[in-house]
Structure 1
């Protein structure tokens, strides 16, 4: 992509009226006339599988703002296909935001080019896992997210080889000038040099200053809500009509005062409330007794959440929820009803300890090297069993840096294809080769032949090189079958140095 990409977001402004949606697409395309040499253009829809996205207890509730809005603007699958066809006919790149897993499947069926993740879904891990399975570029808005959350989501998609764009965004509708925080674009560009950075805008549609400033700050993708007002359908406070879109496209500079903080901004209470109201809550699908660890087959993720409810954004492989009391079927799971354990903090502790051991051994790690954390029996037992690894190169030959923390054991395994040689760089370890123990310290060299069962343990901590023939991830055979059965025994981190 050599030109800035302008993404026009219709959201629900088709009003559930297919002819009006088509007219909106055509009117915005006409507004872009004359700017083709300056920008590329995309048009975006939103998909919700309303029969599952909205929880059964909330369906038909006109007193709930977003439920009413979503149900009143429902479109059929054929109508959405017609909108996508019109977008393509007008020369737009097709983009869509899914709010649930079924909608990702619909995006694939409709042949839409790019998936956009809304800010309220930025850490909706069940949804992100499904999006990662789609062979689509990903654009993700970051409103309300902490730097740790942005690190985690960026690492998640980069490890899966995704074409990723991060959008600076503030989820206030409309956003006043003093809350625009345009300097966040520079922060994201510096912190994540391997992804594109853009600007998703919710300021007043008459504000043509912020987009030029965002362009000057380095944004290359821009998102703007659009509307086609009629006697029947009025515009909202943050969507631009065709004339305002032309003015917006012509803008390129604005005052420095709009830039805001160079540090990650703190979302306002109203923004937090707005984001929470759009998230999916965790609901039970059956009666759950007290003292039960919740699992995926006991719950569903549905809209809208209630005050104090656990949301899909908090549900991940690092989260543990144990009921303090019995929760009946089809009820929201409240924070007050569960004990919660988050293991992401433990991952951070592991990274901190690994970096300290590398520093103590004066071991240089190549830049941008991914860190692989092996927790064979789960993160809960990483202090006993585990290892961290950096793969430096893996061609016909392979070199890795391996780090074990004090007291750790690596379970017994063997390889059928590769032979490996260990060179101890710092600390010490005891290695067992087919049951025969050998102690090794810095400078010692140990070769492990093909088929030789080996396990190792360190008391003080150790850093050692592995030099071998090509590493095949399917060529590690553990003698304890419980390890192979643990499909979540690896964690990979990109931004850890």
Structure 2
């Protein structure tokens, strides 16, 4: 369902399309042209109210009550709204409605509206939210004027109701001054609710297109603005966009997506041009004196200088004790390959493991022991093994297990220990007695004594293992090659990393 929300542009009809079907249709057609021109996923949003019951009968014709004259003056019937809804569909855009009462929710269902939007003023209207949740429609909810505690309540309510939903950061000031935008709150919501889409609903100056670009940079996946069509009788308010402004807003957002996007979300893309550019500025390794093949080269035997040529060892690759594979003349460039030792492999996987902990936001403290399980040797560690962080081992035991991308921990069982896994980060597949279980963050899986189990991860995983006391030599592996090894032969213990 996230795919429906991601990269969605929402055009909200300004001032209830002036209460005119014809004017509403003109807005729809104008937004459709923008959507097609830029090939974007776009929605046009309407507002529904059953004014016969939404406004108290004693206040229906009062001119002194905020919003009542506007609501009454722009009133449309269900049939008239249906005409506009059908036009949105014909333009190939998503239909979206903000219902302000229970009757309006029923209208949405009758018309087959794609997404229901909850306005900030209705975000704590529990009777309305209950009715919306019953529809099982995708929901986008604006959080203007809501504290983080309020948003937590709404989040938990929608989760408990099994709703598919997204949140929109919003400031309910019309227009919103720059100093009140608080776009950092998009980051906070993304961290606090990592399993849902976060967007931004803007009410700032329509000419300021730095704001949508910053919102994209902060992680917003949905953008929303009020739009309208000014003419000799209609003047747009200070926070609504005309079609020209709306198109520039869309273009700015698309530019920001291009600027911010990564080719692969799990890996930084580095171009060959970038590598060549930096290599041209690196220092290469040159020998100070004549050196014979087989001779050990120490730090005092070399100097570092630019240029650095192709196949030449860089200053960052040099290590004390490199063996010369051929004769070298003084001032000649050193062309030896970086030694791939077990120590280098250990350092490499430790750096990767630390990076995964940083990204997951998991702090270890200072009192722990790191164990590298390399069942087939360090040279094959990235394919088979795991990084085990031993934190507590008393009558109860707690460990953190780090599984690198593509790594597998071989099939084994414990006779003394019973253990429970909870996935904290990434993806993991656990196989227990031949049954494959796919885990997502938060999932819990218990492994009973003597149950054969293994685990692996596609993109990398960190999980917590809580168990009874861990006992030495209590791991019984299926593979005879592993069983024949002393535990000290398949483990590297680090006291300080």
With structure 2 as the length reference, what TM-score do the two structures score?
A: 0.51
SS in structure 1 opposite 2:67?
helix
- Among candidates 27, 32, 35, match of residue 24 of structure 1: 27
Distance 1:57 1:148 in 2: 35
SS in structure 1 opposite 2:15?
coil
1:14 corresponds to 2:13: no
Q: How does 1:210-229 map to 2 (within 5 A)?
A: 210-229=211-230
Q: 1:236 to 1:217 in 2, by over 3 A?
A: same
Q: 1:91 to 1:367 in 2, by over 3 A?
A: same
What residue in structure 2 maps to residue 178 of structure 1? Answer: 179
Shift of 1:12: 3.3
Q: 1:365 to 1:125 in 2, by over 3 A?
A: farther
SS in structure 1 opposite 2:224?
strand
What residue in structure 2 maps to residue 46 of structure 1? Answer: 47
- Among candidates 28, 34, 38, match of residue 35 of structure 1: 38
Distance 2:120 2:248 in 1: 26
Distance 1:393 1:57 in 2: 60
> Is this contact kept in 2: 1:16–1:72, CA < 8 A?
yes
Higher helix share: 2
1:59 corresponds to 2:55: no
What residue in structure 2 maps to residue 90 of structure 1? Answer: 91
1:75 corresponds to 2:76: yes
Shift of 1:72: 0.2
Structure 1 stretches of at least 4 aligned residues deviating more than 2 Å after TM superposition: 31-34, 361-368, 390-394
> Is this contact kept in 2: 1:12–1:46, CA < 8 A?
no
Deviates more, 1:51-60 or 1:183-192: 51-60
C-alpha distance after superposition, 1:23-71 (max 9, x if no partner): 11111222334210xx311110000111111111211112223000000
Q: 1:362 to 1:97 in 2, by over 3 A?
A: farther
Larger radius of gyration: 2
Q: How does 1:83-482 map to 2 (within 5 A)?
A: 83-252=84-253, 366=422
Shift of 1:391: 10
Shift of 1:116: 0.4
Distance 1:156 1:118 in 2: 16
Shift of 1:366: 4.2
Shift of 1:159: 2.0
Distance 2:221 2:194 in 1: 13
Distance 1:393 1:15 in 2: 57
Number of residues of Structure 1 aligned to a counterpart in Structure 2? 271
Distance 1:97 1:26 in 2: 20
C-alpha distance after superposition, 1:93-147 (max 9, x if no partner): 0010011111111100111000000001111111111111012000000111111
SS in structure 1 opposite 2:19?
coil
Distance 1:131 1:223 in 2: 21
Structure 1: unaligned runs, 5 residues or longer: 255-360, 369-389, 395-424, 426-497
> Is this contact kept in 1: 2:141–2:168, CA < 8 A?
yes
Structure 2: unaligned runs, 5 residues or longer: 257-395, 399-419, 425-441, 447-465, 467-497
Q: 1:9 to 1:362 in 2, by over 3 A?
A: farther
Distance 1:365 1:81 in 2: 52
Distance 2:50 2:148 in 1: 30
